[in-house]
A and B are shown apart, each in its own frame.
Chain A
């Protein structure tokens, strides 16, 4: 039997339901559909999947260990990089955790800017998901449409933070800088245009017969299974459970925004697609409200022990020079204690468990990643499906491997 390069097949010796032999097929780690480096060991009976064993760790970069070697304010930069499709949301989880340990609360304008950045990130993360999933399931043009709008979002990231992807925009004590007038103009234009673009995506996919036949009834995950397996985000809401951390345990002022939790009772890949489409519409709704109600005022806490003084003050105030020097040589110390803060990312519950021993570096930072937990539901969803459907199922699980392996 000739096998494609990079594929290994071993015989298990067991007999399948159709009288043939079960084959163990190694799938990945460099398969294009795995969105990173995910390796699956799949037992196949003919073309049917009998077991799936994910093998992860290929993207492990020791992020939690690095956090222990960095000062509190330096850790923000690392949080950008584990779930690389939603950096501001990870920043937010870390910033909220450190702020809770420090016992500080950020000004209302900072909260609103954090919500704006979170929702923009959710949109861009869903756009990447839809573009790549479309590509895998035969809707090639989706990638072009989705990356067009994603690029607008990256332009906005660049305008507000100077960086297109790893923004490090949200940090303990507030945000990096106030929104520029140009950013607000760009956001306004984006919020006006985006509902039309979402209609475009729906025109291309929602009634598309190929898309429907590849996703409807594929990758069933019942509500009970989703809950038991700890799935969160669109995986859980796609199974009809209306659980969203922005509603259930509001943070950063989400309780002041009017939006619906998108759910679907279909429990399959198509249901998860519908949930993401609805979430994109809701994200635009939140962005519109945040932009209209954006409060004035400072975007950082007025505490020189946590954030550096403005540049002008350094020339006139000795105090400011001392604070500046202390912050950039030693950093600040955080009172001993531990705290867990969870935020809703595009993939589900991304949390940050921070332990402080009272020094200027964290004792332990644990990232609770939605991708890591959601990936455990893969076998339940893929069982007894065709191997081709495995691609759709991995796609709608939307695991970011950087986040799985950290």
Chain B
């Protein structure tokens, strides 16, 4: 799997501006998916930043895959939107914003897509506790409410 790494916010911006459009011209026309990985307290490797954005591209002619990674930090983490290069990214970016709080600058409608509009917090971040939301009838089942992970 060929991978392109880009290690900080500045190059994450460069990823979008030059690299992704160059890759698109090279034939990687389909954005298979776009997502984010939260590397909070992940000691398995030496990660350059907390959030890793993953763009999986495919050349449908050959068919080769290419994974582009961008590492970003900050609160909120920001990266440029690619919805104009790859239309399927529109909803994927909204989902990534909804789940990780990554702000995609230039996105036409960056609102929550899966969670309710008034939701507080970003559920797929690693410091968002599982079971933190009180579920109906759960007060009798204390084990359902796991303690928040210590960040």
Interface on A for B, CB 8 Å cutoff? Answer: 56-57, 60, 62, 64-66, 68-69, 227-230, 243, 248-249, 336, 338-340, 342, 349, 351, 353, 355, 357-359, 363-364, 366, 368, 372-373, 376, 405-406
The answer to whether A57 touches B86 (Cβ under 8 A) is: no
Residues of B within 8 A of A339 (CB): 1
- Interface mask (B33-56 → A, CB under 8 Å = 1, otherwise 0): 101011100111100000000101
Chain A, residue nearest B32 (CB) = A368
Complexed CA–CA distance, A56 and B116 (Å)? 10
Residues of B within 8 A of A62 (CB): 123
Give the A-B pair count, Cβ closer than 8 A.
84
Chain B, residue nearest A374 (CB) = B88
Residues of B within 8 A of A349 (CB): 32
The answer to whether A353 touches B114 (Cβ under 8 A) is: no
Chain B, residue nearest A376 (CB) = B91
Given contacts A340-B56, A364-B37, contact A64 B124 (CB under 8 A): yes
The answer to whether A340 touches B30 (Cβ under 8 A) is: no
Q: Which of B30, B33, B60 has the most CB of A within 10 A?
A: B33
Chain B, residue nearest A349 (CB) = B32
Chain B, residue nearest A247 (CB) = B63
Given contacts A336-B44, A357-B42, A363-B42, contact A230 B87 (CB under 8 A): yes
Given contacts A357-B42, A363-B42, contact A69 B88 (CB under 8 A): no
Residues of B within 8 A of A373 (CB): 88, 91
The answer to whether A230 touches B86 (Cβ under 8 A) is: yes
Complexed CA–CA distance, A342 and B99 (Å)? 22
> What 6 new A-B contacts, CB under 8 Å, besides A227-B30, A230-B31, A376-B91?
A56-B113, A57-B116, A64-B124, A65-B128, A230-B30, A355-B37
Residues of B within 8 A of A338 (CB): 37, 54
Question: B residues 94-112 with Cβ under 8 Å of A?
Answer: 99, 112
The answer to whether A405 touches B114 (Cβ under 8 A) is: yes
Complexed CA–CA distance, A359 and B90 (Å)? 33
Chain B, residue nearest A243 (CB) = B60
Could you list 6 A-B pairs, sorted by A, with CB under 8 Å? A57-B114, A57-B116, A230-B32, A243-B60, A351-B33, A363-B37
B4 interfacial by beta-carbon distance below 8 Å:
no
B78 interfacial by beta-carbon distance below 8 Å:
no
Complexed CA–CA distance, A175 and B90 (Å)? 37
The answer to whether B87 touches A376 (Cβ under 8 A) is: yes
Chain A, residue nearest B65 (CB) = A340
B130 interfacial by beta-carbon distance below 8 Å:
yes
The answer to whether A366 touches B35 (Cβ under 8 A) is: yes
B16 interfacial by beta-carbon distance below 8 Å:
no
Chain B: minimal CB distance from A335 (Å): 9
Question: Sorted from nearest, which 9 A-B pairs have the closest CB atoms?
Answer: A230-B88, A57-B114, A368-B33, A336-B44, A357-B44, A60-B114, A358-B44, A366-B35, A364-B37
Q: Which of these, B44, B54, B56, B115, contacts A57 with CB under 8 Å?
A: B115
Residues of A within 8 A of B60 (CB): 227, 243, 248
The answer to whether B35 touches A229 (Cβ under 8 A) is: no
Question: B residues 2-48 with Cβ under 8 Å of A?
Answer: 29-33, 35, 37-39, 42-45
The answer to whether B45 touches A336 (Cβ under 8 A) is: yes
The answer to whether A227 touches B45 (Cβ under 8 A) is: no
Chain B, residue nearest A358 (CB) = B44
Chain A: minimal CB distance from B127 (Å): 12
